[in-house]
Structure 1
């Protein structure tokens, strides 16, 4: 049985989402594409929410999000308790976000000109493993920040 991945994006995302979905399927993942499928304008935050909540229901290995720059959709995802969404710009950062931050979501910008292909970046994320140890302590602290309340 293959691992399942949730993917979603805004109106800028369909082409890149299809590419990333094909790549994931080639790597043996089952992809649950929550939309969008055309260029009709939508609110990327709604699709971040939809994907994150679906992921948190369980059964998914990780999630992939796409908007024009990847910035808005990753910020939106990181507002959801339990989500650590990274927006790596290259292969090195993609590997490190899994090794050191145990990111459970990865975001991409459909309008970004990457120096390495999005598939290579996603591959580095997939091939990396969380190192634990001192990084686990940092991730635990990071996730504790969700409990902060203003004075």
Structure 2
């Protein structure tokens, strides 16, 4: 699996830890974020990761800013993206199983590196269940189509 990762200036250190963690588990990781701690616009990082997912350059994405909120909003403005903000592993797992999320977001100022690794592991190891959830995911996509 190929995972795109993007971040702003608040999340450089956490992004690097998550990249190493994923690579140690055999994932290919593409860095779409900044490696500098000078101010960097989280919205641009989110858009870049989300567009890479939609184009199929990567299978899914991870986006990290200070809280995870701003970058998730930016990701969700890209058609075809279902980004979720998760601060604990259970929600991350269910976001994939029930909502078929394709971008995971969290905040470098909210979760520490060990918790972030647990969140990432639950998300990348989860599988979309489809079934009864498929109708709801399709409804979300239909709402997106009406408002573009």
TM-score (ref. length: structure 2): 0.94
Instruction: Give the superposed CA RMSD.
Output: 1.7
Matched, 1:143 2:141: yes
For structure 2, the residue ranges without an aligned partner over 5 or more in a row are: none
On the 8 A contact 2:53/2:102 being kept in 1, the answer is no
Find the counterpart in structure 2 of residue 69 from structure 1: 67
Partner of 1:42: 40
Q: State how many pairs are aligned.
A: 148
Structure 1 unaligned blocks of 5 or more = none
- In 2: Cα distance, 1:77 partner to 1:33 partner: 16
**Aligned with 1:20 (options 8, 18, 21):** 18
Q: Distance in 1 between matches of 2:22 and 2:39?
A: 26
Deviations 1:68-99 (A, max 9, x none): 00000001100110000011121110110010
Structure 1 runs, 4 residues or longer, greater than 2 Å off: 147-150
The match for 1:85 is: 83
Counterpart of 1:132? 130
CA distance in 1 between counterparts of 2:120 and 2:140 reads 23
CA distance in 1, matches of 2:81, 2:3: 14
Which residue of 2 is the match for residue 33 of structure 1? 31
Q: Which has the higher helix share?
A: 2
TM-score by length of 1: 0.92
